[in-house]
Chains A and B, each alone.
Chain A
């Protein structure tokens, strides 16, 4: 049950586009900064395999300049 948070940097002028693209992917929560070109991205998946697939899907987004992981938790499914 991996839960990960990332800082997602958009290409210049592509912040809205990146928010839009990430918001349409399942298992992604997006928290845009109001005053900087930066988003917080939180992913929550069932297992490592899903997690890796999701990361590949995110990294393929054209408006994404850089994705930097901040924290990663792997927790047993309890709830």
Chain B
């Protein structure tokens, strides 16, 4: 849309407009300037609008991309999309500009004598296949691995899983969604037996109260947040921001409640204590539809190599659970959490009020947590005790960060233990996958291998020799990064990286493959509300760039799997999707046919009898319910959801006299994850050109630190110098600092901790101890 820059003044004028739009969007998420976009379109051009899901976050906004003479020149929100109803955020509006960065990778590069040399795609693919063969021959099948992404399309992840798990026979398949969504998955599985939210975005139009658990929605999910604000204008709903830091979300909320890091566990239990104490339990719902369990405690934090943990659930009864909660009265929890007993009771009263519909929303705050599974369980407990679940407006809702974290990583199952339907440990699931994949069932190894952190540790130890990285930038995003960066440089490791731009991850590659990006190829994403969305190829790939799907297919054929990878180049996406749908046949997870996805802005699974399912486990909406009751939690053998007894436990590394601050990391609205795309969009880059460290204003004054001053952060892993940000965007509490992670020139993950939730194996990027000094 802003590409025809004829001269410097018009460029500057456009920059001025875009700066204003960015500023407006941060104040009013979802603000729309459609006229301006139309006005800037090429005049007299042969403009063709085509629908797609947005390339960036997991909200899955529908966008219309304007194509002129083979180039994507404009984006506008799709008014037909029930997700965003025509709105977009700043990243969405500028998304097509990320295709045309000057330094797009357009040719394969092979490292020879320490230098990258251009080569043909054929030679690069031949080399990858021969290296894989050689590595498997010399070191066994578990010495090769693939590390993908929640930005993989569904076909990308599907062929990766089929090649590695079905054909090669290794479970060395992981994706960066392990770093962002794994605790949500284990939360769902332990509480309900099935992954992904029971509700949908339409809950926003019905709820009376929104409780945001450590979720800066105004910046991370701005279009959805604008829907909350819209409901406040229309219906006077309440928004409660429950967080460790004051953000734009806190400022827009009706009430901001700040808690000390990790104590959300205690506060959630205190809310349940209040619900029981005040007689707000929905007894008939709990008696009919819930059971109670407890698991192991004091699990550790996964800090040591080869750490293993398996929970041992034990059934308990309501009385035992009630007794357990006696340690979590609001008055006791106030001392631990810093949240007043009054505020705990305030939140509990909304959850407990039978006349209020409540939606809980969360994302990284609860998931990047060394007790991430537990805190997911505890928020479900609140909704289960009150029966506020699976009905319009009553909805515990785990938001995703990436466009297909749900669609690809969780549904296709690109994690070490997963299959498209079920898990590798289950013989029936292996048989089901093997039949569809046309491989002997013995090919699929029943034992999971490495989760993400352990996969990179295995690379460091030398247990893994070959790694193929697609659509992700782990050399910016891995915690305790230095160890894993050094690992990739060790002798005898071979790294392939498929990406669209040079990044710190392509820097460590032996082979770099240029990938086709988003609308340069055909594919599907699946968003947070179980909505699968299709996009067609709209433009030609840059240079010799090739889709990640086809890269894998080409290598699979070279490895001798022509029979399994029978797909034709012109029709492979349709063939793959139709094959993939077979894994999910049945009322619990049926996927919509491709022609439906092509004709409308996505469909929500289970897609049964030509209809999307908006609320699962509710017999009124969900055709898979079969127990004759109003609700049926059919993911569990007894049809009951589990209320879990989970205690508060401290973080693995808490501030002490040597490292007296908490360090938390996260994102900003302008930049997508590691910034490799958004930093190439001039207006977004100029808006936030580098990272910074946010400090508490009063404490900064005490330390004589002002905005822009250099500040040194030191943890037990290393040190980094960043410019200070005081009273600008976010405001941390005393003895806490916050750093955005998008900046490859200021790698905050060099000093973060690689502790993880023992159940989900998801690292905690929100809490470690740090020393803060003015330089």
Residues of A within 8 A of B (CB): 1, 3-7, 29, 31-36, 38, 40-42, 44, 70-73, 75, 78-79
Measured CB to CB, the closest approach of chain B to A51, in angstroms, equals 13
Chain A residues with CB under 8 Å of B335's CB are none
Q: What's the Cα separation between A36 and B30 when bound, in Å?
A: 9
Q: Which residues on B sit within 8 Å (CB–CB) of A73?
A: 12, 15-16
Q: A31-B33, A34-B32 are in contact. Are A71 and B19 (CB under 8 A)?
A: yes
Q: Name the one of B12, B19, B31, B33 contacting A70, with C-beta atoms under 8 angstroms.
A: B19
Complex A-B: 13 CB contacts under 8 Å:
A1-B9, A4-B16, A5-B16, A31-B33, A31-B35, A33-B33, A34-B33, A36-B32, A40-B21, A70-B19, A73-B15, A78-B8, A79-B9
Q: What is the bound-complex CA distance between A6 and B8, given in angstroms?
A: 20
Residue from A5, A38, A75 having most chain B Cβ neighbours under 10 A: A5
Contact call B17/A42, Cβ cutoff below 8 A? yes
Known: A3-B13, A73-B15, A75-B8. A42 touches B20 (CB 8 A): yes
Give a binary string over B323-350; 1 marks a CB under 8 Å from any A CB, 0 the rest: 0000000000000000000000000000
B16 CB contacts on chain A under 8 angstroms: 3-5, 42, 70-73
Is B117 an interface residue when CB atoms closer than 8 A count as contact?
Answer: no
- Docked CA distance A56–B7 (Å): 29
**CA gap between A61 and B529 in the complex, in Å:** 46
A79–B20 touching, CB < 8 Å:
no
Q: List the A side residues contacting B36 at CB < 8 Å.
A: 31, 40
Which residues of B have CB within 8 Å of A6?
20
**Min CB–CB distance A16 → chain B (angstroms):** 14
Given contacts A3-B13, A72-B16, 5 further A-B contacts (CB under 8 A): A34-B32, A71-B16, A73-B16, A78-B8, A79-B9
B12 cross-chain contacts in A, Cβ below 8 A: 3, 73, 75
B36-71 CB contacts (< 8 Å) to partner A: 36
Judge if B320 is at the interface, Cβ distance under 8 Å.
Answer: no
Q: Are B28 and A31 in contact (CB under 8 A)?
A: no
Question: Whole-angstrom distance between the alpha carbons of A41 and B24 in the complex?
Answer: 12
A72 contact set on B, CB distance < 8 A:
16
A40 in contact with B17 given A34-B35, A70-B23 (CB within 8 Å): yes
Q: Name the residue of chain B whose CB is nearest to the CB of A69.
A: B20
Partner of A71, one of B15, B28, B87: B15
With contacts A40-B24, A78-B9, A79-B8 known, is A5 near B34, CB below 8 A?
no
Cα separation A2 to B273 with both chains bound (whole Å)? 62
Contact A35 B8 (CB under 8 A): no
* Distance to closest chain A CB from B18 (angstroms): 9
Given A3-B16, A42-B17, A73-B15, verify A33-B24 contact (CB < 8 Å). Answer: yes
Chain A residues, CB < 8 A from B9: 1, 3, 44, 75, 78-79
Contact A40 to B33, CB < 8 A, known contacts A33-B28, A71-B20, A79-B7: yes
Inside 8 A of B21's CB, which chain A residues have their CB? Answer: 40
Cβ-defined partner of B24 (8 Å) among A3, A7, A42 = A7
> What residues on A are CB-neighbors of B28 within 8 Å?
33, 36, 38
Contact B31 A33 (CB under 8 A): yes
- In whole angstroms, how far apart are the Cα atoms of A34 and B31 in the complex? 7
Q: Decide if A40 touches B20 in the complex (CB within 8 Å).
A: yes
Q: Give chain B residues whose Cβ lies under 8 Å from the Cβ of A38.
A: 24, 27-28, 31
- Smallest CB-CB separation from B19: which chain A residue? A71
Interface residues of B in 476-501 (CB under 8 A from A): none
Within the assembled complex, what's the spacing in Å between the Cα atoms of A78 and B7? 9
Q: Which of B13, B31, B34, B87 contacts A42 (CB 8 A)?
A: B13
Chain A nearest CB from B562 CB (Å) reads 53
The residues of B that contact A70 with a CB separation of less than 8 Å are 16, 19-20, 23
Closest residue of chain B to A8 (Cβ to Cβ) is: B20
Q: Provide the residues of chain A in CB contact with B87, threshold 8 Å.
A: 35
Q: How far is the CA of A36 from the CA of B8 in the complex (A)?
A: 31
Residues of A within 8 A of B30 (CB): 35
A73 to B12, CA, bound (A): 7
- Distance in angstroms between the alpha carbons of A44 and B23 in the assembled complex: 19
How many Å lie between the Cα of A36 and that of B21 in the bound state?
12
Determine the distance from Cα of A58 to Cα of B69 in the docked complex, in whole angstroms. Answer: 41
Residue of A at shortest CB range from B85? A35
9 residue pairs, one from A and one from B, having the closest CB atoms: A5-B16, A5-B20, A71-B19, A40-B20, A34-B32, A70-B20, A31-B36, A79-B7, A36-B28
Residue of B nearest to A72 (CB): B16
Chain A residue nearest in CB terms to B30: A35
Given A36-B28, A73-B12, A78-B7, A5:B35 Cβ within 8 A: no
Chain B: CB-nearest residue to A75: B12
Residues of B within 8 A of A44 (CB): 9, 13
The distance from the CB of B687 to the nearest CB of chain A, in whole angstroms, is 10
A78 to B11, CA, bound (A): 13
Give Cα distance in the complex from A31 to B40, angstroms: 12
**Most-contacted residue by chain A among B13, B27, B31, B34 (CB, 10 A):** B13
- Which residues of chain B come closer than 8 Å to A35, judged between CB atoms? 30-32, 87
Cβ-closest chain B residue relative to A71: B19
Return B732 CB to nearest CB of chain A, in Å.
26
List B contacts of A79 (CB < 8 A).
Answer: 7-9
The CA-CA distance from A7 to B23 in the complex, in Å, is: 8
Q: Which residues of A contact B32 (CB under 8 A)?
A: 33-36
A residues near B13, Cβ cutoff 8 Å: 3, 29, 42, 44
Q: Which of chain A's residues has its CB closest to B13's CB?
A: A3
Contact B19 A5 (CB under 8 A): yes
CB-based contact B34/A34 at 8 Å = yes
**Nearest B residue to A31 by beta-carbon distance?**
B36
CA separation between A75 and B695, bound complex, in Å? Answer: 35
Give the docked Cα–Cα distance between A78 and B6 (Å): 12
> How far apart are the CA atoms of A43 and B33 in the complex, in Å?
18
